[in-house]
Amino acid sequence: MTIDPEFLDELDRFDSSLKRETTSHHQGDQESPDMGEGLTFADYRRYAPGDDTRLIDWKLYARTEEYFIKQYEEERNLTVHVLVDSSSSMDFGEGDEHKFEYAAKLGLGFCYLTAEENNNFRFSVFGDEHKRLDTGRSNRGELLQLVDLLNEQELSGRTDFRNALEGYLSTISSRSLVLVLSDFLRELDDIEEGLAALARNELVVAQVLSPDELDPDAVGDTVFEEPETEQELRTYFGGRLAQQYHQRLEGFTDEVAARAEDLRAAHSLVNTGEDFFDSFESLWFN
């Protein structure tokens, strides 16, 4: 990989505030038994056996002779979770059009602007399971280390959306936006089940495809290779077959979008042949 971290500086042109309404079941402030910094008083409720007696408002007891518990809300920042598909099918595209590199840069861009707002980010890659790459510091130094790790990333295997994304769900414990970047070249039901696991958070789905996938320039006798299995198919590509390919691809991407939208996720089709910053702007403000 050849990701150059200098592209991060050019993201300063974008408004770093992520003005989104999250729908997570973790959204907002949550009741906490601890008092201290980062906690805001919310309300009272009657004391029940087993409650922490430290939370009893004794001044209120002096006036009412009844026990009331102070309820506090923890002030949580938004956490942005980035998951990038690292399966073999993402190892496609030449130069700046390479799918994994392009997707990784989009994810890094989200992390960069998230850190600019003093919010937290998490960065993982996934295939048949997820692998977290960040260390939880959510700063520029962390981003530079992520660039190094991503440049060393080996792409292999097949994507198991259900297993990888369901497994990732258990790591989410706060108000969150989840960005999943993949070509989604797998079975639709597997994709839907994986995305459904994350759909209780605000979910953004970026389907990343190269120009050679969206509009192959192959003509005549052509050998196609399936990158995840390395199986080859020799055929004559052109005319009716080329038309069928475009129809099937368009139908597939439309179906991925429809299933994502059924889960109330935002779907974007990303062409790696487009200017990177144009694609980032479209995805950031999706």
Are residues 46 and 171 both part of a single domain? no
Are residues 12 and 143 both part of a single domain? yes
Q: What is the pLDDT of residue 227?
A: 59
Looking at residue 94, its amino acid is E
We report the CATH number of the domain holding residue 110 as 3.40.50.410
Extract the tokens encoding 277: 């910053």
Q: What pLDDT, in 10s, does the model give residues 26-65? A: 333 333 333 333 455 556 778 777 667 877 888 888 888 8
Are residues 119 and 197 both part of a single domain? yes
Does the pLDDT value for residue 122 go beyond 90?
Answer: yes
| pTM score above 0.85 | no
d(CA 94, CA 212): 10
Are residues 141 and 233 both part of a single domain? yes
What's the rounded mean pLDDT across residues 153-166? 97
Residue 217 half-sphere exposure toward CB, CA atoms < 13 A: 3
Does the pLDDT value for residue 242 go beyond 50?
Answer: yes
Are residues 194 and 104 both part of a single domain? yes
Are residues 12 and 69 both part of a single domain? no
* pLDDT interval class at 218 (50, 70, 90): low
92 vs 163, 193, 227, 240, CA distance in Å? 24, 25, 8, 25
Say how many domains are in the chain: 2
Range of the domain at 55: 31-74
Which one of 14, 41, 74 terminates a domain? 74
Between 245 and 133, the more confident residue is 133
Are residues 14 and 41 both part of a single domain? no
Are residues 67 and 91 both part of a single domain? no
d(CA 101, CA 107): 10
Q: What is the pLDDT of residue 222?
A: 53
Are residues 148 and 37 both part of a single domain? no
* pLDDT interval class at 72 (50, 70, 90): low
User: What DSSP assignment string belongs to the chain?
Assistant: ----GGGGGGGGGS----------TT-S--EES--STTEEEEEEEE--TTS-GGGB-HHHHHHHSS-EEEEEEE-PPPEEEEEEE-SGGGS-SSGGG-HHHHHHHHHHHHHHHHHHTT-EEEEEEESSSEEE---S--SHHHHHHHHHHHHTPPP-S---HHHHHHHHHTT--SSEEEEEEE---S-HHHHHHHHHHHTTSEEEEEEEE-HHHHS----EEEEEEETTTTEEEEEEESTHHHHHHHHHHHHHHHHHHHHHHHTT-EEEEEETTS-HHHHHHHHHT-
Are residues 152 and 66 both part of a single domain? no
Q: What is the pLDDT of residue 283?
A: 96
Are residues 68 and 192 both part of a single domain? no
Are residues 254 and 138 both part of a single domain? yes
